[in-house]
Structure 1
Amino acid sequence: MSTTTIRLPEELKARVAKAAERAGTTPHGFMLEAIAARTEAQEHRDEFHSESDRRWRQFLSDGLTVEWNEMREYLLRRSRNEPAEPPVAKSFGSKR
């Protein structure tokens, strides 16, 4: 494990110490958990944007999309454990 030095303003250092005590851990452990949580959140955000970009490129390539009202009805049925056929993608702007 490598060592990294973090310079904290005194006010933040005191807040971290109090928060760590309330959480039942050390300031070091508290900061490690915070860094891990923030790193994981950023990784999820990066994955979300990557998937969004991939889907946008796919849409630009084939022009297929699912109408929101159809998707909403499908998801509502699924959430109620009712039988539901997935909506069919159509060319953007096409009418039923």
Structure 2
Amino acid sequence: MVSTTSLKLTEEIKQQATNAAKELGMTPHAFMVEAIKQASINAEIRRNFIQQANIAREGVIKNGKVFESDKVFEAMKARIAGKKSTLKVSNW
């Protein structure tokens, strides 16, 4: 069963949602449901990103090993150009 939730929106936000929904061929309700769904997905992606960044940071603090950013960019450019490239670990 689907539960009901009430949102109090300003007239400006209601109008923006209505206009956007119309352009997308959706009802305002469907647009708002999709917007909430996307916001929830984005929040989860951000949470996971921050969690992985904190894990990586802890690893750097623990072992002091990093890749220098300019070397990473050089390696990426080389690989895009079809050349072989290797990265060497540096001490932080």
Q: Which residue of 2 aligns with 1:3?
A: 4
Task: Please state if 1:91 is matched with 2:52.
Answer: no
**Which portions of structure 1, spanning 4 or more consecutive aligned residues, are displaced by more than 6 angstroms?**
none
CA distance in 1 between partners of 2:82 and 2:60 (Å): 30
Corresponding residue pairs, total: 91
Cα RMSD of the aligned pairs, angstroms, is 1.4
Q: TM-score, normalised by structure 1?
A: 0.82
The TM-score normalised by the length of structure 2 is 0.85
Structure 2: unaligned runs, 5 residues or longer: none
Cα shift at 1:3 = 1.8
Cα deviation digits, residues 40-79 of structure 1 (max 9, x gap): 2211211111111111100010000112222111111122
> 2:69, 2:19 → 1: CA distance?
47
Which 5+ residue runs of structure 1 have no aligned equivalent? none
